[in-house]
Chain A
């Protein structure tokens, strides 16, 4: 009896993983990555679909799904290694500590060398981020887990600022713009802060992408919205969300998906992953309630609103992203409340200035991601707590960040500001340049006629089609064979 049992238990052991593989880490990493992917599809797809008018639902969802697909292709062909590989102009790890020329180091550590991740080794060998490996414990993951986990972040970034340009950008322009932006803007952001580039070495912190993702999305969306021009005046005046229940589904997926977003970033199923998850939720709760309270006492209608709650929720998630695994619980609650307050006032008052009114940022991404991400990153410099440890032992020392309030390191705020300005300037420039080049070949906007009609004109589909009056056109018959020509329709037949 015992022997039988032992055999049954022993049998799976004949397959053995490489000794470096940590199944717990790998299981969490793939789960976290899937959570983040769900934030894009269907999370953002239905969130934005609910926020737009009925006539733009199909267009919005298709651009989200197509963008997600396009980014994965360039990610595995060249962009992953531009963000997380070796530095572009070096044969090995590039950082030269003997060099004190800051500018030379800046440009030498600006972006990685493009390379595919298609080989068997690029998928199954032990994960490595060459410029970062020395600063963290050895990976227990295969490379594919890291490539896919980082892909879902690369994917969500342009999809976030899709919200700025909805309701007028041409589909064709979007699917060309997105891979180019991933290559020239996102890969640079990621390398600078996560791939062991300049700002990572300087010590700027961005736990999960307050700058790499949200400040980048807010900046690029704003520039793109300015270049593409506003929606039709009537669409802009009447930008009433067509379905708040869809918004609720999308927003809920985004909130809980963020457990993977921030919880997956240590690359280990560690104590810091757990801290990051609960910090994320605390900041979000604080920010949501803060926004609703401002709405109730200072808002235009002095009433709590659902869309206000969703804005507050997004701001909280964005605010905590740069610092989720570097701060303690009090820091998380305060960051949520403070950032939500800053963004609420910007959304309410800054949006009234002539300059901000001129640019039609349809979903207000520059506020809820741009400004929220900017201040979230700066608040890291105020609240990071060195006793919250990302990695407990790397070469005998703990990896954590200090700040103004904990560990007497006000300089952290300066580092954060430097990284933020780099992202703002570079991403604004790249977005401008890519759209300028595309506009030499094709207009960035749909025609006014397509803008009037929406989905039916652009995709031959509508979100809520009625089956009344629909007849299937059988191939080979052609429509003319069973329908009278237009001129034969009786004059009194209606409008």
Chain B
């Protein structure tokens, strides 16, 4: 049981979702987040004052997968979200101790 988390550019969400359903992923959680990495922030101007805003809008995707398809999932996300420019985002993979499906009470791999 693995949690794949990806932080990507907002407009990469559609291609990533399509790529994930292509490899058989049936569910995911998406949130609008802000952050920065090497891309750094951007500048905005309000009422004559210039502001450096460190955080840029991103989308965070969380997907629970079985260990056997992790590589496929990571590859699908990175292929779909890659523009080759700075700010494409990151993917990280976390081992999970347990997963529970609330409706049925199932636990473990069967709950994914």
Residues of chain A touching chain B, judged by Cβ–Cβ distance below 8 Å, are: 234, 452, 456, 460-462, 465-466, 468-473, 475, 479, 483, 486-487, 489, 493-495
- With a cutoff of 8 Å between Cβ atoms, the chain B residues found around residue A468 in the complex are 34, 55
Task: Answer whether A483 and B52 are a contact pair too, CB < 8 Å, given A489-B38, A493-B36, A494-B7.
Answer: yes
- With a cutoff of 8 Å between Cβ atoms, the chain A residues found around residue B90 in the complex are 494-495
28 sample A-B contacts, Cβ–Cβ < 8 Å, listed by A number: A234-B14, A456-B42, A456-B44, A460-B43, A460-B44, A460-B45, A461-B46, A462-B44, A465-B46, A466-B34, A468-B34, A469-B36, A469-B54, A470-B44, A471-B53, A471-B54, A472-B50, A473-B50, A486-B38, A487-B38, A489-B38, A493-B36, A494-B7, A494-B36, A494-B37, A495-B8, A495-B36, A495-B90
Are B38 and A466 neighbours in the complex by a CB distance under 8 Å?
A: no
Are A489 and B40 neighbours in the complex by a CB distance under 8 Å?
A: yes
Task: Answer whether A493 and B50 are a contact pair too, CB < 8 Å, given A461-B44, A461-B45, A473-B43.
Answer: no
CA distance A452 to B12 in the complex (A): 10
- With a cutoff of 8 Å between Cβ atoms, the chain A residues found around residue B46 in the complex are 461, 465
Identify whether the interface residues of A are mostly helix, strand, loop, or mixed. loop
Write the nearest CB–CB distance from B85 to chain A, whole angstroms: 10
Write the nearest CB–CB distance from B24 to chain A, whole angstroms: 24
Q: How many chain-B residues does the 8 Å CB contact rule pick out?
A: 26
Say yes or no for B102: interface residue by CB 8 A criterion. no
Are A473 and B58 neighbours in the complex by a CB distance under 8 Å?
A: no
Task: Answer whether A493 and B37 are a contact pair too, CB < 8 Å, given A234-B11, A461-B45, A470-B44.
Answer: yes
CA distance A469 to B55 in the complex (A): 6
Task: Answer whether A479 and B52 are a contact pair too, CB < 8 Å, given A473-B43, A489-B38, A495-B58.
Answer: yes
- With a cutoff of 8 Å between Cβ atoms, the chain B residues found around residue A469 in the complex are 34, 36, 41, 53-55
**How many pairs, one residue from A and one from B, have CB atoms within 8 Å of each other in the complex?**
71
CA distance A112 to B45 in the complex (A): 43
Write the nearest CB–CB distance from B93 to chain A, whole angstroms: 14
Write the nearest CB–CB distance from A58 to chain B, whole angstroms: 10
CA distance A486 to B86 in the complex (A): 11
Say yes or no for B35: interface residue by CB 8 A criterion. yes
Name the one of B8, B35, B53 contacting A470, with C-beta atoms under 8 angstroms.
Answer: B53
Are B58 and A470 neighbours in the complex by a CB distance under 8 Å?
A: no
Write the nearest CB–CB distance from B7 to chain A, whole angstroms: 3
In the complex formed, the residue of B with least CB distance to A484 is B40
CA distance A470 to B41 in the complex (A): 9
Write the nearest CB–CB distance from A473 to chain B, whole angstroms: 4
Are A495 and B50 neighbours in the complex by a CB distance under 8 Å?
A: no
- With a cutoff of 8 Å between Cβ atoms, the chain A residues found around residue B50 in the complex are 472-473, 475
In the complex formed, the residue of B with least CB distance to A235 is B11
Task: Answer whether A470 and B36 are a contact pair too, CB < 8 Å, given A452-B11, A494-B90, A495-B90.
Answer: no
CA distance A462 to B54 in the complex (A): 14
CA distance A472 to B44 in the complex (A): 10
Task: Answer whether A470 and B51 are a contact pair too, CB < 8 Å, given A452-B11, A461-B46, A494-B90.
Answer: yes
In the complex formed, the residue of B with least CB distance to A479 is B52
- With a cutoff of 8 Å between Cβ atoms, the chain A residues found around residue B38 in the complex are 486-487, 489
- With a cutoff of 8 Å between Cβ atoms, the chain A residues found around residue B89 in the complex are 495
Write the nearest CB–CB distance from A87 to chain B, whole angstroms: 48
Write the nearest CB–CB distance from B36 to chain A, whole angstroms: 6
CA distance A456 to B43 in the complex (A): 9
Are B37 and A489 neighbours in the complex by a CB distance under 8 Å?
A: yes
- With a cutoff of 8 Å between Cβ atoms, the chain A residues found around residue B49 in the complex are 472-473
- 10 closest cross-chain pairs (CB), A and B: A495-B7, A469-B54, A469-B55, A495-B90, A473-B50, A470-B51, A495-B89, A494-B35, A470-B53, A471-B52
In the complex formed, the residue of A with least CB distance to B5 is A495
CA distance A466 to B89 in the complex (A): 20
- With a cutoff of 8 Å between Cβ atoms, the chain B residues found around residue A470 in the complex are 44, 51-54
CA distance A460 to B51 in the complex (A): 10
In the complex formed, the residue of A with least CB distance to B45 is A460
Beyond A461-B45, A468-B34, A470-B52, 17 additional pairs, beta carbon < 8 A: A460-B44, A461-B44, A462-B44, A465-B53, A466-B34, A466-B53, A466-B55, A469-B36, A469-B55, A471-B52, A472-B49, A472-B51, A473-B52, A489-B38, A493-B36, A495-B35, A495-B37
Write the nearest CB–CB distance from A450 to chain B, whole angstroms: 12
Write the nearest CB–CB distance from A57 to chain B, whole angstroms: 14
CA distance A452 to B58 in the complex (A): 13
- With a cutoff of 8 Å between Cβ atoms, the chain A residues found around residue B52 in the complex are 470-473, 479, 483
